[in-house]
Amino acid sequence: MPGRVPGGSEGGSRVPANERPFAVIMDGADGDDVRFAPLRQYLDDHGVDLRVAVDEQQRETLLPTAEVLIVLGRDHLRPDEVATLDRAVGIVCLSVGMDKVPLEAAERGLTVRNVPDYCIDEVSDHALALVLAGQRRLHEVLPAMREGGWLAGRGASDPHSLRRLRGQVMAVVGAGRIGRTVATKARAFGIATLAVDPYLTEDPGPDFPLVALEEALGRADIIVLCTVLTDENHGLIGDEALRLVKPGVMVVNVARGGLIDESALVAALEDGRVRLAALDVRDPEPPTTEDPLRALPGVLETPHMAASSIDAITDLYRKGADIVIDLLTEAGRLPGTVRSSG
């Protein structure tokens, strides 16, 4: 991605403080401003201020004055909040998906942009890590080892409960950037890969044939969800789909929790249709304290961390900031900003 000439103008002069536009980032977690220091610095270098709305009161105050709104992957923008964006020219989602922004934003004429390519390696690595951990039953072996156990040849390490990866079939639901990378990495282990994607009309690759979901469910030993969440695919892996799966299948979700009907998944785990479920995302997040999935032995969980690394965050903030600058420049709110050739 091209770099930019700092300073906010071709001559290198900074935008005067009283003329600087500003972006607002919604942070519904802990308001830790330190996390946004790199983003703040990069925007500041290009004549843009960043303000953080950490609670409902600050959202009410800042959103109507924001020229660009930045939405984190964990925060939902409500329709009533969209109605207050009187000065905004656009919304930037610091995430792969845009499901946190309601349709009312587009109806209001706001440009909505995302950062689809900042964590391809992280999410695909995490998906394969979950596959490996589950297939080798590390989620059962490691806790026992920490407690002083030694399950050599029995329990979770019983060879009759383990399978080699080579020769298994993986269905990747969502054959975009991340899905294709998951498939490429899986094939390095000798896993055959199938693509499921309603938006494609031809095979994504010679070793990645496109098949219907129903066919994939019946053939796959491992199902990996990599697709965006939409109204149409909410609860995609539910009662109907889980009646079609190959007995003993492993389900991996590194996309969005809403893709799985968790009640149906619990039933499928209990009756053996699903042997393993490896979930980086849940619906809701965090799960409730009475969460039935956590009581089941075939479940591996991670706390929505598949996209995380210092490298990914650096890319996310830099690319997100570039989008903010583009939106402001195109709207005439940040005159003179130019890209460098580097």
- For residues 320 and 73, what is the distance between their CA atoms, to the nearest angstrom? 12
SS3 171: strand
Contact 171, 214 (CB under 8 A): no
Contact 222, 171 (CB under 8 A): yes
Catalytic annotation, pick one of 256, 275, 282, 333:
256
160 is catalytic: no
256 is catalytic: yes
Q: Are strands 249-253 and 192-196 parallel, antiparallel or unpaired?
A: unpaired
187 is catalytic: no
DSSP string, 18-83: GG--EEEEE--S---GGGGHHHHHHHHHTT-EEEEE-SHHHHHHHGGG-SEEEEETT-PPPHHHHT
Catalytic annotation, pick one of 4, 20, 113, 304:
304
Catalytic annotation, pick one of 10, 60, 285, 330:
285
- For residues 74 and 70, what is the distance between their CA atoms, to the nearest angstrom? 12
- For residues 85 and 102, what is the distance between their CA atoms, to the nearest angstrom? 13
Measuring CA to CA, which residue among 180, 136, 135, 120 is closest to residue 319?
120
Q: Which residues are catalytic?
A: 256, 285, 304
